[in-house]
Structure 1
Amino acid sequence: MQNKITALLIDDDAHLREGMKGLLHIYAPQIQILGEAYSVKTGVEAIKNYQPQVVFLDIQLTDGTGFDILEELLAQYGKINTYVVFITAHEQYAIKAFRFSALDFLLKPVDPDELNNVLQKINKVLQKDEGFAHIDLLLENMRKKVDTFKRIALSNADGVHVFDISDIIRCESEDNYTKFYIKNSKPILISKTLKDYEDLLADHGFERIHQSHLINLNYLKSYIKKEGGYIIMADEAHVPISQRKKERLQEILKNL
Structure 2
Amino acid sequence: MKAILIDDELPNLTNLQILLNTYCPQIEVCALAQSAEQGIIALKTYSPDLIFLDIQMPEQDGFAFLRSLNSYDFEVIFVTAYDQYAIQAVRFSAVDYLLKPINIKELIEAVNRAFKQNQLKSQHKQIEYLMDWFKVQSQKEEQRIALSTVEETRFAKVSEIIRCESSNNYTTFFLSDNSKLLVSKPIYEYDELLSNYGFIRCHQSHLVNKAYIKSWLKEYGDFLLLNDGTQIPISRGKKQMVKDTLRVF
Q: Aligning the two structures, in what range does the TM-score lie when normalised by the shorter sequence?
A: 0.7 to 0.9
Q: Which runs of 5+ in 1 are unaligned?
A: none
Pairing partner for 1:55 from 51, 56, 59: 51
SS in 2 for 1:61: coil
Mark the CA change 1:255 to 1:140 in structure 2 (over 3 Å): closer, same or farther. Answer: farther
Normalised TM-score (structure 2): 0.88
Question: Aligned equivalents of 2:2 and 2:177: distance in 1?
Answer: 39
Question: Aligned equivalents of 1:254 and 1:186: distance in 2?
Answer: 30
Question: Aligned equivalents of 1:30 and 1:59: distance in 2?
Answer: 24
**Corresponding residue pairs, total:** 247
Pairing partner for 1:106 from 75, 98, 104: 98
Mark the CA change 1:229 to 1:60 in structure 2 (over 3 Å): closer, same or farther. Answer: closer
Greater mean deviation of Cα atoms: 222-231 or 156-165: 222-231
Shift of 1:184: 1.8
Mark the CA change 1:253 to 1:25 in structure 2 (over 3 Å): closer, same or farther. Answer: closer
* Amino acid in the other structure paired with 1:99: R
Does the Cα contact within 8 Å between 2:136 and 2:143 map onto a contact in 1?
no
Question: Aligned equivalents of 2:5 and 2:212: distance in 1?
Answer: 45
Deviations 1:136-155 (A, max 9, x none): 23222345667x98221111
Shift of 1:215: 0.7
Mark the CA change 1:23 to 1:234 in structure 2 (over 3 Å): closer, same or farther. Answer: same
Pairing partner for 2:203 from 195, 210, 222: 210
How do residues 86-97 of structure 1 correspond to structure 2 at under 5 angstroms?
86-97=78-89
Residue 170 of structure 2: aligned partner: 177
Pairing partner for 1:117 from 96, 109, 112: 109
Q: Which runs of 5+ in 2 are unaligned?
A: none
Greater mean deviation of Cα atoms: 63-72 or 106-115: 106-115
How do residues 87-236 of structure 1 correspond to structure 2 at under 5 angstroms?
87-143=79-135, 150-184=143-177, 186-236=179-229
Question: Aligned equivalents of 2:29 and 2:248: distance in 1?
Answer: 56
Deviations 1:89-116 (A, max 9, x none): 2222112212222111122332222212
What value does the CA root-mean-square deviation take over the aligned residues? 2.4
Question: Aligned equivalents of 1:248 and 1:13: distance in 2?
Answer: 43
Pairing partner for 2:34 from 33, 38, 44: 38
Shift of 1:185: 5.0
Normalised TM-score (structure 1): 0.86
Q: Kindly report structure 1 stretches of 4+ aligned residues shifted beyond 6 Å.
A: none
